[in-house]
C-alpha cells in the first residue's frame, strides 16, 4: 500500500510541463483485488485507460507540477463506481476532493471525445449478419439489428428550464435513449434528453431515428417496447395478441428485448453514480449527460476486455417513470404490413 501523505490542494496543479507529476499512488503497490474493490476495475484495464486517455490528460501549461494521468483515471473510476468523492480515496492518492472533482471532469471529457469510437453500429456486412444471428439465437426473432429503450438518471434541479427535466414521477432526470446488441454492448447512446419527454418523443427527435429513417441501416429493424410507435424499422409488441402466432411473436419479442433491461441494470450496478443510491448527480444537465455517456463508453470498453457484462448483481436504481402506451399501435400502414409479414413468415 502507498504510504499516506498530506493532502494537497491540486486544483491548480492538474497539468504541468510534463516534467513532474504528483505521483502519490502506484498501481504496482496494491493488489488487483484492492483495485477492483476501490475503483471497480483490474490493473490491466486501468493501464489500458491510462494509455488511451493519456494524451488528453497531459495538456501542457505553465504550471510546474501536475496530477498524473494514472491518478486522474483512478479518481474518475472511483467516482463512477462509488457515486461519491470519498475522503479516504483522495487521501490514498494525495489529492483533495476538489482536485478529484477536476480529475473526473477531465477524464469524462476525454471519454466523451472517444465515444464514437466505442459506441457505434457495425458497418461491414459480415458484422451486421453476425448481429442478426446473435439476436436470432436468443428467441428466434429474425432481422434484429438492436434493442432500444430509454432509462432515466436522476440529476439535481437545474437553475434554468427546471420543468423540462421533471419526469412523470415528479423527479428531475435525464431520459437516456440507448440501443444494445445481444451481448449488451451499446450501439447507440443519447444521454441528454430532458426527463419530461416521454420515450416516444425522445426517439422521434433523436439522431437514431434519423439514421434509420434515412435507411443508413438496411435489411433489419430495432425492437422496442410499447412505449414506442411501430415503424418500418422498429418492431413493437402487439397490444392485444389473439392468435397463436401473435402470442409467439410477443414472447420472442419480449425475450429478445429483455437484453436492454439487463444491460441497464448492469450499467447501474457497475457505475453507482448512476443508480441513485448515493443521491442524484450533482451537476448541470450537460455535465450529467457527459458523465452518463462516459460510463457508457467504459461499459463497452469493459466488454472488449472480457469483463463479464452480466457479472455484477443489480443494486439500487432510480424509479423509472411509467409510460402511457395507449394508441401506440397501427400508426404506419407500411409498418403494420411488415410486422404482419413477419408474423406469417416466422411465427405461424
Digit-coded pLDDT (tens) for 214-263? 877 678 999 999 999 999 999 999 999 999 999 999 999 999 999 999 99
* 132-182 pLDDT tens trace: 999 999 999 999 999 999 999 999 998 766 789 999 999 999 999 999 999
C-alpha cell belonging to residue 324: 402511457
Give the orientation angle of helix 285-304 with respect to helix 69-82, to 10 degrees: 100
d(CA 241, CA 52): 49
Sheet arrangement for strand 234-235: 186-194, 173-180, 144-154, 221-223, 234-235
SS3 16: coil
Q: What is the pTM of this model?
A: 0.87
- Cα–Cα distance for residue pair 98/291, rounded to 1 Å: 17
pLDDT in tens, 16-53: 433 334 456 678 888 889 899 889 999 999 999 999 99
Give the burial class of 8: count Cβ atoms within 10 A of its Cβ; 0-12 exposed, 13-18 middle, 19 or more buried: middle
Distance from C-alpha of 297 to C-alpha of 116, rounded to nearest angstrom? 9
Is there a contact between 208 and 148 (Cβ–Cβ < 8 Å)? yes
Lowest mean pLDDT among 102-111, 184-193, 327-336: 327-336
Question: What is the distance of C-alpha 244 from the center of its chain?
Answer: 36
With the CA atoms of 293, 283, 11 and 62 taken in that order, what torsion angle do they form, in degrees rounded to the nearest 10? 60
For the chain, the 3-state helix, strand and coil shares in percent, each to the nearest 5, are 45, 10, 40
Q: What pLDDT was estimated at residue 6?
A: 37
Amino acid at each position: 500500500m502507498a504510504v499516506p501523505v498530506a493532502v494537497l490542494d491540486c486544483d491548480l496543479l492538474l497539468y504541468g510541463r510534463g516534467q513532474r507529476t504528483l505521483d502519490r499512488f502506484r498501481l504496482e503497490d496494491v493488489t488487483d483485488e484492492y483495485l477492483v474493490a476501490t475503483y471497480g476495475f483490474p490493473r490491466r484495464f486501468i493501464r489500458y485507460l491510462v494509455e488511451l486517455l493519456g494524451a488528453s490528460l497531459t495538456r501542457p501549461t505553465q504550471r510546474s507540477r501536475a496530477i498524473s494521468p494514472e491518478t486522474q483515471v483512478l479518481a474518475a473510476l472511483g467516482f463512477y463506481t462509488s457515486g461519491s468523492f470519498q475522503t479516504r480515496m483522495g487521501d490514498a492518492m494525495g489529492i483533495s476532493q476538489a482536485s478529484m472533482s477536476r480529475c473526473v471532469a477531465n477524464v469524462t471529457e476525454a471519454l466523451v471525445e472517444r465515444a464514437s469510437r466505442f459506441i457505434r453500429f457495425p458497418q461491414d456486412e459480415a458484422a451486421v449478419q453476425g448481429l442478426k444471428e446473435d439476436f436470432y439465437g436468443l428467441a428466434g426473432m429474425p432481422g434484429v439489428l438492436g434493442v432500444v429503450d430509454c432509462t432515466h438518471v436522476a440529476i439535481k434541479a437545474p437553475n434554468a428550464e427546471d420543468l423540462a427535466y421533471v419526469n412523470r414521477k415528479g423527479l428531475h432526470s435525464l431520459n437516456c435513449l440507448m440501443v444494445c446488441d445481444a451481448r449488451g454492448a451499446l450501439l447507440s447512446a443519447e444521454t441528454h434528453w430532458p426527463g419530461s419527454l416521454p420515450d416516444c418523443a425522445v426517439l422521434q427527435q433523436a439522431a437514431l431515428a434519423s439514421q434509420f429513417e434515412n435507411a443508413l441501416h438496411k435489411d433489419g429493424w430495432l425492437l422496442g417496447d410499447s412505449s414506442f410507435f411501430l415503424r418500418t424499422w422498429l418492431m413493437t409488441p402487439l397490444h392485444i395478441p389473439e392468435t397463436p402466432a401473435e402470442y409467439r411473436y410477443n414472447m420472442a419479442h419480449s425475450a429478445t428485448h429483455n437484453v436492454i433491461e439487463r444491460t441497464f441494470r448492469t450499467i447501474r450496478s457497475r457505475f453507482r453514480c448512476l443508480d441513485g443510491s448515493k443521491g442524484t448527480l450533482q451537476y448541470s444537465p450537460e455535465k450529467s449527460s457527459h458523465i452518463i455517456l462516459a460510463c457508457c463508453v467504459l461499459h463497452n470498453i469493459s466488454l472488449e476486455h472480457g469483463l463479464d457484462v452480466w457479472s455484477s448483481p443489480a443494486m439500487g436504481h432510480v424509479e423509472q417513470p411509467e409510460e402511457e402506451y395507449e394508441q401506440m399501435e397501427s400508426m404506419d400502414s407500411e409498418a403494420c404490413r411488415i410486422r404482419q409479414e413477419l408474423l406469417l413468415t416466422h411465427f405461424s
